Amino acid sequence: MRGPLFLLLFVLLSLPFTLVSTLSSDGHSLLSLSKNLTIPTPILSTWTASDPDPCNWTGVECGSRHNYVVTLNLSGTGVSGTLGPDIGRLRFLRTLDLSINNISGSLPPELGNCPRLSYLDLSNNYLSGEFPESLFRIPVLEFVYLYNNSFNGPIPSSVGESSQLQYLWLNNNSLSGPLPASVGNLSELAYLDLGMNSLSGVIPESLNRLKNLYYLDLSENHFSGEITYGSENCTNMQYLYLSYNRFDGGIRRACAIVLNYLSGSIPLEIGQCSSLTELVLKENLLDGVIPAELGLLRNLTLLWLYTNHLHGEIPIEVWKIPTLEEVLIYNNSLSGQLPVEITELRHLKNLTLFNNNFSGVVPKGLGLNSGLLELDLSYNRFSGEIPPNLCFSKRLERLILAYNQFQGSIPLDIGECKSLWRLRLDHNNLSGPLPHLLENSGLIPLEIGNLVKLQVLDLSSNVLSGLLPPQISQCAGLQKLDLGFNSINGSIPLSLSKLTGLQYLISVSLVKKVSQIAQRGAHGTVYKAYLSPDKIYAVKKLTCTRKKGLSMSMNGSLHDVLHEIHPPPILLWEVRFKIALGVAQGLKYLHHDCNPAIVHRDIKPKNILLDLDMEPHISDFGIATLIDTSVSPKSSVIIGTIGYMSPETAFTTRKSKESDVYSYGVVLLELITRLKAVDPSFPENTDIVSWVNSNLNGREGHCLDRIIDPGLIREFMGSRDMEEVAKLLLLALRCTAKEAGDRPSMRDVVKQLTDLQMMFFSQK
């Protein structure tokens, strides 16, 4: 009798424990995980131990045929803490998504105990440490997103064991060491992004075995040696980014290269990449001819080969690629003529071939079958007449044909091209009443008023005569009108007062309106010029004037252009870069070429004057050649300006080149952001240096779109990448380093800028 009673007692004592322990093992594993993870209360409140299983918990999904957890998704819910080893007890887990949270710590090796895990997304967290070898031994792993964290150390060789892997995104971490050759075993891999790390060594040959690879980003690392990627297997490759590495030598074979210091010739095998849509080999040291095999790339839309040492003719096969939209092959030594086949490119939007040796007549049909937006053939030897239908689509925005041998008159449709906002036809053999044309004569054409988007009208240095036509007032966007050095007579039309955005009006009539002396200074007398009651200009009379000197500051200061003129004038990237380089060259001269060296101590946009061509001149030094050396100007003590002073100036008054470098870096940031050094939009006690750094190092990662001037973003959108802007931004951050010893010299700055070889047409 004692046996049955004892058994009954045991059952009764066990009953309460059984009632409270009905939660499945997966549920207990999740509750254990929540001890290391801080999960928001609204979510955690649904994780109750009294449930039989966790299938109804927020963020949890179970299988359709069982109650095992197959999905844990807490993406973007504000989870923090660390990922504990209990994750490895979820044996049926297929999807783990904890992205966009505040999770820190390292990845537990136990994660490799989830044999069914196929989707892993832990991106945009604070995870660190090395990847456990066990992670990539999960046999069914297909998608791995671990980008935007702080992982370090090498990529484990076990990565090659994930034979089903299709997406591997490890970008924006601190990974180091070589790329394992075992990556070549990932036969299903389509996307591989390792950008923005510190990986080094050579690209393994085994990558050429990846037939399904569609996207490869190895940019912003320390890879070196010869580029060996690209073979007959790379037919699916469409996006290949190798920029900002240390590659040297030639290209043995490649599908696409972006911004490296490459030499040698373009490989013939490139034509095997039949799916390629963008080929970017810009700003390298490539020589030889353009291979005809490029014509095999029948899906190519972008062909950027500019700033190299290419010679010969562009193969006719290239002009037969039907999908071409942008052909940028400027700054080379190419020659030959443009074939008639170019007129059949129906998608062509941008044709930029300046600074080559092209000759002959431009086909008359150019523009008839395409929606041309930009055409720049300047600095070549083209002859004949300007094609009559360039603006047939009524979309042409920029027409630059300067420095050629064009003859005849400007086509009538140019005068009707209301979309046009930049027109350069100078230094040709044109005749008739043409704008911006040296040696031109005749009247200013009334049709000029049709160019309603025109921003700059420069008719200076011609033999124009007659009256200034009032139709110019129809150019509602006009910001600068230069009629200097002509034979124009009469008065300025009253209708010009409608041009509310007009900031610079330069006319012979202006001289007649100069009267009252405003002040006399060390460098001459300043007069007042009244154009209207609310338009008063300061005019300085120079003893020995030249056209070049007179225009030294016609565009005002950089501060005016960036911050004061309303509405703000469009400031193209090419102009900003020209200003950045010009100021750097000026400071380099002061720091390294003057004996003794000169330290400016007050570099800021207000002290950078812009001439008619937007060339920068540092105040007091840029106009030194115009000052009469027989009169000694009064010396002035140049002190710093808040927002531009380097941190060390708070502790010393010693002049230093490094303080100028810091101020120059602030000017670069203003050029990129179009914000003031101490902008009212910044938080309290924040200057532009700290504001930019906080945005770059914030939770959202590199928020370039939040930093960069929206005008620049619009300029590059859909047509170009932002690599040039990003590189200038990095240089600005180096110049504004907190420690003076970490800043580059101005000699180094100039070298970095010139090494970029960004030879824009405005710099010629």
Query: CA 262, CA 70: separation in Å to the nearest integer?
Result: 49
Give the closest residue to 755 by CA, choosing from 296, 413, 284.
284
What span, in angstroms and rounded, lies between the C-alpha atoms of 290 and 145? 39
Burial class (CB in 10 A: 0-12, 13-18, 19+), 15: exposed
Q: Cα(511)–Cα(550) distance, rounded to whole angstroms?
A: 13
> How far is Cα 524 from Cα 269, in angstroms, rounded to an integer?
66
Number of CB atoms found within 10 A of residue 555's CB: 23
Do the beta carbons of residue 209 and residue 187 sit within 8 Å?
A: yes
Which string of DSSP letters, residue by residue, matches 562-596? IIISSSPPP--HHHHHHHHHHHHHHHHIIIIISSS
Q: Residue 275 and residue 277: Cα distance in Å, rounded?
A: 6
Active site residues: 602
Alpha helices in 23-151 (DSSP H): 25-36, 41-44
Q: Under a CB-based contact definition with an 8 Å cutoff, are residues 552 and 623 in contact?
A: yes
Host H or E run for residue 119: strand 119-121
Q: Which residue has tokens 């101490």?
A: 678
Cβ atoms of residues 660 and 603 within 8 Å: yes
Neighbours of 544 (CB within 10 A): 7
Three-state DSSP at 181 gives helix
What are the backbone dihedrals phi and psi of residue 69, each rounded to the nearest 5 degrees, phi first? -70, 125
**Residue among 140, 177, 187 nearest 157 (CA):** 177
CA distance 248 to 383: 39
All residues at 6 or more sequence positions from 696 whose CB lies less than 8 Å from its CB, including other chains: 702, 703, 707, 733
Task: Give, in degrees to the nearest 5, the angle at Cα 624 between 621 and 625.
Answer: 140
DSSP state of 557: B
**Would you give the end-to-end CA distance of the chain in angstroms?**
110
